Amino acid sequence: MNDIEFLQSVNHKIPKKRPVKLISDYVEGRRIMPVDGSPFPSPWRNSVTPYGIEIQNCLSPYSPVHTVVVKKPRKVGMTAIMDNVVLYWLFEVPSKVLYSTSSQDLAEEWSMGELEEAITSMGMRDRVVAKSYNAKAHRSGSQTKFKEVIGGRIDIISASAMTAKRQKNIRILICDEVSGTKKLLASGEGDWTKVLSGHTASFGSRAKRAFFSSPTVEGECLISEMYEEGTQEQFLIPCPYCGEYIFLDLMADPGEKWGLKADTQGGVVKQAYYVCPSCNEPIFDHQKKDFYSYHPACKKHPKKELKPAYWKATKTIADPYYRSFGLNSLYAPLGMVSFTQAYNERAKAQAGGPDAMRSFMNLFAGEAFKEVGEGLHIKDFNTLRDNWPMWTSPLSLLPEPDHGLRRASGKRNG
């Protein structure tokens, strides 16, 4: 082989195309959702979960956004959206990725289940390699705790594990089930999300950090706290009747004329629908395909071109590149959670007491649960206490006649 031939052979290996700019474009029609486990076994279509387009694209290399927070209910397809982001950063722009979740079991399940399946479905199996191959060990590039791919690597950890602290120089940080882990590390190093974010520091503005979770209880819910630090965006859909852009509010005041309502017959819910706050027309489940369309239209102005549903910030913050998004079950893809199911779940929770309400708020409303009643704070305890000697109790000072409650003050009775 002469020099020219060598140069030509090397040249063949250089990528000939620039990477696809947007993650949503990278996966569209390309990732195949499996028959087992996916509610939509078919090539990936962004139109099924249109709220995910912006979320994925914020995490694309050309977006200036550095942090994405998603506070979500169950069954809105967010895990699959997160997988798309991982696939892009492993195979389209190979990088060092760190994925964390709330337990070792979940980490292993995701690593050997969903991620493996996604890699195969993208036709990327041959890009998974063992970099430090040892003939004796027969090491494979695909391990439970990490995967090595040509040009990149992903480490998969549990957020509270010791390995979390040892990670160095990560470009892409993806944290799932954020609220499933306590905020402060037991080791006294503070907020674990800050510790993990610290590992992305050397990439500066090229680093990306994403945090996903269902919320838990107000006051101790990490994803809610992070959501409030960001732009707090709501997904606005065009009403199929009047064309106004509305937020689907699962927890609207029942006294209002708009919101999630239902027709009932003999006490049984026949069908639920969402009443538009602007025109008071009922929007039904099957109309999701209209208001989630890339070219939506409305009955009132049939010729008017409406823009598709979009995210709108409800808070202006100093750093617009810290974006936080909130969803509830009314946004679930057609065929996953219906308006009627959401209505029934809400009614059941309202009748079922605090525990039922708590899981409804977390898993359907995508909101932290506010506990009713005031707990006793250590501060109150310190203010209210008196200076009692050991082995005495306030009851010992009760006036006679004694009603048999003085047993506690052992010393005086003795």
Q: Does 247 bind Zn ion (CB under 5 A)?
A: no
Distances from the Cα of 6 to the Cα of 17, 353, 387, angstroms: 21, 74, 89
Instruction: Report the residue from 172, 196, 239, 306 that binds Zn ion according to the rule CB under 5 A.
Output: 239
- Sign of the CA dihedral with 379 first, then 381, 385, and 390 last: negative
Map residue 215 onto helix, strand or coil.
Answer: coil
Neighbours of 60 (CB within 10 A): 22
Q: Does 241 bind Zn ion (CB under 5 A)?
A: yes
Q: Does 321 bind Zn ion (CB under 5 A)?
A: no
Q: Does 226 bind Zn ion (CB under 5 A)?
A: no
Q: Does 278 bind Zn ion (CB under 5 A)?
A: yes
Q: Does 248 bind Zn ion (CB under 5 A)?
A: no
Residue 259 beta carbon to Zn ion: minimum distance, rounded to whole angstroms: 13
d(CA 70, CA 234): 11
Whether 98 and 174 have beta carbons less than 8 Å apart is answered as yes
Nearer to Zn ion, 241 or 284 (CB): 241
Q: Does 283 bind Zn ion (CB under 5 A)?
A: no
- Sign of the CA dihedral with 171 first, then 84, 88, and 90 last: positive
d(CA 54, CA 235): 10
Nearer to Zn ion, 19 or 282 (CB): 282
DSSP 8-state assignment for residue 3? H
**Taking contact as CB under 5 A, which single stretch among the options 31-39, 135-143, 191-199, 242-250 is the one that binds Zn ion?**
242-250
d(CA 77, CA 27): 14
Nearer to Zn ion, 271 or 278 (CB): 278
Count residues binding Zn ion (CB under 5 A).
Answer: 6
Nearer to Zn ion, 131 or 299 (CB): 299
**Taking contact as CB under 5 A, which single stretch among the options 117-125, 161-169, 252-260, 269-277 is the one that binds Zn ion?**
269-277
Nearer to Zn ion, 286 or 348 (CB): 286
Q: Does 279 bind Zn ion (CB under 5 A)?
A: yes
SS3 of the chain: helix, strand, coil, percent, to 5: 35, 20, 45
Determine the residue type at 293.
S
Pairing state between β 310-313 and 322-326: unpaired
Nearer to Zn ion, 50 or 243 (CB): 243
Q: Does 129 bind Zn ion (CB under 5 A)?
A: no
**Residues making contact with Zn ion (CB under 5 A):** 239, 241-242, 276, 278-279
